[in-house]
Structure 1
């Protein structure tokens, strides 16, 4: 079930998901029925709006599929409305330093005191949960994936990974290669990816990587199986 994703990640399980590029509820239903571990609605690179997310969330919850959203923007204002709809969590692009990490986590977790709270949306069972129950449940189960895809982030990895609310350092290899000015693929990109893996291993934080096929899983994830969280497109 969707509530278990964060527990599974933090327990060291390998979880495999995919990106959704089309706002079709049937796709979400199929992915849920197929037993996929999670899916990410790609609001960054696909025409998926808030009304679409309402229906995609409904389909995901009906099949027990943990659904996250990825959406670009300097602000974090988009995060709370999506979690209110019942999403399991968010994947935030271009998190390159601790200040951005703090802002993202404050937008996800009620405990930081910045996220507005109401149990009236779907995530609070339309008022069926009391505020305390809803707050505690949301903070316990919401998943925070921060994307590492900037050259400047590589020197900030320890600080980013040290935030207790970060569940996954998710590598964006295409943007990372562009930021580094290297080929995709290339030995230089592999070395940068390995730096993220090593930082995750050191901090005990899972690392995720976009892979186009299984042959791209050649980097050293063997340091600790608990550091593996993969997403296949």
Structure 2
């Protein structure tokens, strides 16, 4: 039976009349992914760069999220041709490629998502969920239309090259990572540093000039609002693991009595 695929994140951004708000899914749990999928947010980012996610757990989360009215983006741990091929064959349609510092790295990311002669993606659609095991009509010819590529700008080198990166054919959007950007600028842990914020704002302006969407990671509500006011088209405002950590700490603060030395009064 012929089957359709979902619209891409690129399509969602083009059709949106407001910035799209999302959250990280870092637990590796399909149950938590499904819980977040019903949140009412616009998109989820399933992370495999800094989270305990392999191919099997990414697949399980894609299946758990499928059917909910939310877009799913997946971040692989590295900009690697073989790994990107595997993610695409799993059925990942929206990729966030980390640590893209140059035009060459952006071009390599795009090439990994395209079949020859336009790229280097290996052909295995008959075996793969990507084409629903050859149930998606003309998948090989249309595959590029079913995939969006967002590259992550998170170093001083990437900021310097952002205008050229934005011109790479097949780069659909950029996403700013202030944490790694701060580290590369010599202010580790200071995402709110004025120079970091200025670099993010520069990239947002460059994206607007190039008429390509730009997103940013900003858990601080005031910072999120600032970047939205500066023209961010999509944003990440929280993470499953962070929400659980802060929420459980709040419960402990409210209900666990402390001794003078700060130790819990009970086990």
2:81 aligns to what SS in structure 1? Answer: coil
Residue in 1 that maps onto 2:261: none
Query: How big is each residue's C-alpha offset from its partner over 1:5-45, in whole Å with a ceiling of 9 and x where there is no partner?
Result: 22121345421211111121122222222333221111111
Could you tell me which of 72, 88, 95 is aligned with 1:83?
88
Larger radius of gyration: 2
Q: Give the direction of change, closer, same or farther, for the CA distance of 1:115–1:43 in structure 2 (3 Å limit).
A: same
Query: How big is each residue's C-alpha offset from its partner over 1:48-97, in whole Å with a ceiling of 9 and x where there is no partner?
Result: 11111121111122335432221233533211211111112211111111
**Is the deviation greater in 115-124 or in 184-193?**
115-124
Scaled by the length of structure 2, the TM-score of the pair is: 0.78
**Is the deviation greater in 120-129 or in 212-221?**
212-221
| Pair 1:208 & 2:215 matched | yes
Alpha-carbon distance, 1:221 to partner: 4.4
Q: Give the direction of change, closer, same or farther, for the CA distance of 1:4–1:73 in structure 2 (3 Å limit).
A: closer
Alpha-carbon distance, 1:199 to partner: 0.9
Query: For 1:8-157, what aligned pairs fall within 5 Å after superposition?
Result: 8-11=12-15, 13=17, 14-73=19-78, 75-110=80-115, 112-120=118-126, 121-130=128-137, 133-157=138-162
Scaled by the length of structure 1, the TM-score of the pair is: 0.89
Could you tell me which of 161, 169, 180 is aligned with 1:175?
180
Instruction: Mark the runs of 5 or more structure 1 residues left unpaired by the alignment.
Output: none
Q: Give the direction of change, closer, same or farther, for the CA distance of 1:175–1:118 in structure 2 (3 Å limit).
A: same
> CA separation in 1, counterparts of 2:180 and 2:115?
31
Residue in 1 that maps onto 2:191: 184
Contact 1:16-1:38 at 8 Å conserved across structures: yes
Query: How big is each residue's C-alpha offset from its partner over 1:127-167, in whole Å with a ceiling of 9 and x where there is no partner?
Result: 2134xx21344311312111101111122111100113112
Contact 1:201-1:223 at 8 Å conserved across structures: no
Size of the alignment, in residue pairs? Answer: 229
CA RMSD after TM alignment:
2.1
> CA separation in 1, counterparts of 2:79 and 2:214?
23
Instruction: Mark the runs of 5 or more structure 2 residues left unpaired by the alignment.
Output: 239-267
Could you tell me which of 184, 196, 204 is aligned with 1:197?
204
| Dislocated runs of 4+, deviation >4 Å | 220-224
1:91 aligns to what SS in structure 2? Answer: strand
Residue in 2 that maps onto 1:5: 9
Contact 2:150-2:173 at 8 Å conserved across structures: yes
Query: How big is each residue's C-alpha offset from its partner over 1:165-217, in whole Å with a ceiling of 9 and x where there is no partner?
Result: 11221000000001011333111111111111111011011111001132112
